[in-house]
């Protein structure tokens, strides 16, 4: 077992990172001020890793993990964790599958082996597979009743025309119906292997005890399999505006969704700069677009901006809810304000406000064991765990010239994807 260095520039990473002989990465941080322990397991087995003909299988597998293993009956882990007063859940994204649990330190030795066993040895029984297939299909149908989900998916389809980030994580009903238990077992045995996993354990447990528990629970992995290869294609540079229009029944207000490709996890300063630009544009009442379009000119009911960091090309979005007659006008104003970002430096007071918002948000999101375990595991999955603590430092170091360069590089006012949503 090897331990990674804790020193990063002048900052001290508060956790310890270990690499087990089998390839498993374990991150531990002891917090004596709490009586609970959070265990986060991150697997590089998201929608981007699916063979093209197996779309939706990563998310479907997330459901099936909780159906047990040969040694853990369906529902047994849920009973154990709930009976201990703890909780567990999971999520799937393009870059990862994420499983997490929180329990008391006293109950962790009893519960953790069950958690590890369903992850490493998911049985995926045929009968449970067929039953859960209908649950997943119903989830897909419910999303298709959500206009905001439909608009966002149409936007991603338009922006990512080659990369798998344009796919729905859920897949389609037709794709899910064509999935088989053997395909899922193959996907599981290919990707749920130690070199693809990070276990973050944070809370009231000493390092030696934590490592011993993880070593015993995450030792016996399934026999490896090999899925059909996944073809990852990069998108060509945007050359204009890609427009999509959706007309939906019973749509109470129109939507305008706009998206730009951003830097991936290999360029965190630029990525965090995009986060800062998002706050300056539409993060709160005093931000540029909210103040002008909602507070002063009443052209939108609301407007928001968000930057979503991903392993490859990330996503920068602006979404407005408005009357349909204002769609063209609002889109033109947003484009003009993006041009201003490139032409004129940000005012110092505005820059300081944006930095304060982001750094405060970061502080509030790193208060609990579950938040810290999630933060470390996420960064270790898309980049490196130690980079997680650099966010406030990098944000504070960004200056007006940096933001202007980032805006010029990524936020072209005439090169983006736009989805317009109107009532049928």
Q: What is the pLDDT of residues 296-312, one digit of tens each?
A: 999 999 999 999 999 99
- Give how many domains the chain has, as a whole number: 2
- Nearest one of 19, 41, 181, 182 to 120, comparing CA atoms: 41
Read off the pLDDT of residues 67-98 as tens digits, 9 standing for 90 and up. 999 999 999 999 999 999 999 999 999 999 99
Residue 71 falls within a domain, yes or no?
Answer: yes
221: which DSSP letter?
P
Instruction: Supply the pLDDT for residue 9.
Output: 53
C-alpha span between 251 and 239 (Å, rounded) = 31
Residues 165 and 267 in one domain: no
- Nearest one of 218, 226, 216 to 199, comparing CA atoms: 218
Residues 113 and 167 in one domain: yes
Residue 340 lies in domain: 241-423
C-alpha span between 143 and 321 (Å, rounded) = 19
C-alpha span between 381 and 269 (Å, rounded) = 18
Instruction: Supply the pLDDT for residue 277.
Output: 98
Looking up residue 108, the CATH number of its domain turns out to be 3.30.830.10
- The arithmetic mean of pLDDT across residues 50-56, rounded, is 92
CA 122 to chain centroid, in Å, comes to 23
Render 346-398 in DSSP notation, one character per residue. PPHHHHHHHHHHHHHHHHHTTSSHHHHHHHHHHHHHHS-GGGGGGHHHHHHH-
Q: Using the predicted structure, report yes or no on whether residue 248 has a pLDDT greater than 70.
A: yes
Residues 290 and 191 in one domain: no
Instruction: Supply the pLDDT for residue 259.
Output: 98
Render 107-171 in DSSP notation, one character per residue. THHHHHHHHHHHHHSB---HHHHHHHHHHHHHHHHHHHT-HHHHHHHHHHHHH-SSSGGGS-TT-
Q: Count Cα neighbours of 94 within 13 Å in the Cβ-side half-sphere.
A: 19
Read off the pLDDT of residues 128-163 as tens digits, 9 standing for 90 and up. 999 999 999 999 999 999 999 999 999 999 999 989
Residues 147 and 57 in one domain: yes
Residues 112 and 199 in one domain: yes
- In this structure, the number of other CB atoms found within 10 A of the CB of residue 73 comes to 12
Instruction: Supply the pLDDT for residue 10.
Output: 55
Residue 224 falls within a domain, yes or no?
Answer: no
Beta bridge partners of 262: 314
Residues 14 and 92 in one domain: yes
Q: Using the predicted structure, report yes or no on whether residue 233 has a pLDDT greater than 90.
A: no
C-alpha span between 113 and 118 (Å, rounded) = 9
Q: Using the predicted structure, report yes or no on whether residue 424 has a pLDDT greater than 80.
A: yes
Residues 113 and 172 in one domain: yes
Residues 208 and 271 in one domain: no
Three-state DSSP at 420 gives: strand
Residue 317 falls within a domain, yes or no?
Answer: yes
Q: Using the predicted structure, report yes or no on whether residue 52 has a pLDDT greater than 90.
A: no
Residues 134 and 272 in one domain: no
Three-state DSSP at 340 gives: helix
Residue 222 falls within a domain, yes or no?
Answer: no
Confidence band for 106, pLDDT divided at 50, 70 and 90: very high
Residues 278 and 206 in one domain: no
Residues 177 and 62 in one domain: yes
The contacts of residue 413 (CB under 8 Å, 6+ apart) are: 335, 336, 338, 339, 342
Instruction: Supply the pLDDT for residue 5.
Output: 54
Residue 341 falls within a domain, yes or no?
Answer: yes
C-alpha span between 109 and 212 (Å, rounded) = 10
Residue 230 falls within a domain, yes or no?
Answer: no
- The arithmetic mean of pLDDT across residues 108-125, rounded, is 97
Instruction: Supply the pLDDT for residue 399.
Output: 97
310: which DSSP letter?
-
H/E stretch holding 342 reads helix 327-343
Instruction: Supply the pLDDT for residue 337.
Output: 97
Read off the pLDDT of residues 279-293 as tens digits, 9 standing for 90 and up. 999 999 999 999 999
Instruction: Supply the pLDDT for residue 238.
Output: 86
Residues 118 and 183 in one domain: yes
Q: What is the mean pLDDT of the chain?
A: 95
Residue 65 falls within a domain, yes or no?
Answer: yes
Pairing verdict, β 314-322 and 7-8: unpaired
Q: Using the predicted structure, report yes or no on whether residue 36 has a pLDDT greater than 90.
A: yes
Confidence band for 234, pLDDT divided at 50, 70 and 90: confident
Residue 234 falls within a domain, yes or no?
Answer: no
Q: Are 405 and 343 in contact (CB under 8 A)?
A: no
Instruction: Supply the pLDDT for residue 6.
Output: 54
């Amino acid at each position: 077992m090897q331990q990674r260095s804790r020193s990063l520039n002048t900052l001290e990473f508060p956790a310890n990172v270990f690499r087990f002989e089998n390839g498993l990465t374990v991150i531990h941080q002891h917090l004596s001020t709490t009586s609970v322990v959070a265990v986060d397991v991150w697997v590089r087995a998201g929608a981007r890793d699916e063979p093209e003909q197996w779309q939706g299988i990563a998310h479907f597998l997330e459901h099936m993990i909780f159906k047990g293993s040969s040694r853990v009956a369906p529902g047994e882990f849920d009973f154990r964790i709930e009976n201990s007063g703890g909780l567990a859940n999971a999520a799937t994204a393009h870059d990862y599958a994420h499983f997490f649990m929180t329990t008391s330190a006293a109950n962790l030795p009893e519960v953790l082996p069950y958690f590890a066993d369903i992850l490493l040895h998911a049985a995926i029984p045929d009968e449970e597979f067929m039953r859960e297939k209908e649950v997943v299909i119903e989830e897909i149908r419910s999303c298709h009743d959500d206009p905001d989900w439909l608009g966002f998916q149409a936007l991603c389809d338009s922006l990512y025309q080659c990369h798998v980030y344009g796919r729905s994580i859920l897949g389609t009903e037709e794709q899910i119906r064509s999935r088989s238990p053997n395909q899922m077992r193959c996907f599981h045995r290919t990707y749920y292997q130690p070199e693809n996993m990070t276990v973050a354990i944070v809370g009231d447990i000493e390092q030696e005890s934590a490592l011993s528990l993880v070593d015993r629970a995450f030792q016996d992995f399934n026999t490896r399999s090999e899925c059909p290869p996944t073809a990852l294609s990069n998108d060509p540079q945007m050359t204009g505006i890609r427009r999509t229009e959706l007309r939906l029944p019973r749509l109470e207000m129109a939507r305008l969704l706009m998206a730009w490709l951003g830097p991936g996890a290999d360029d965190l300063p630029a990525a965090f700069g995009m986060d800062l630009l998002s706050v300056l544009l539409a993060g709160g009442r005093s931000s540029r677009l909210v103040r002008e379009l909602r507070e002063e000119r009443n052209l939108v009911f609301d407007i928001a901006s968000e930057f979503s960091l991903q392993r490859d090309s990330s996503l920068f979005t602006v979404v407005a809810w408005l009357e349909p007659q204002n769609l063209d006008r609002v889109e033109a104003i947003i484009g003009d304000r993006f041009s201003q970002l490139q032409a004129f430096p940000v005012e110092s007071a505005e820059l300081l406000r944006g930095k304060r918002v982001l750094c405060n948000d970061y502080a509030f999101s790193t208060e609990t064991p579950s938040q810290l375990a999630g933060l470390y595991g996420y960064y270790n999955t898309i980049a490196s765990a130690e980079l997680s603590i650099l966010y406030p430092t990098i944000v504070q170091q960004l200056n007006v010239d940096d933001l202007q360069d980032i805006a010029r590089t990524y936020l072209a006012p005439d090169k983006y994807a736009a989805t317009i949503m109107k009532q049928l």
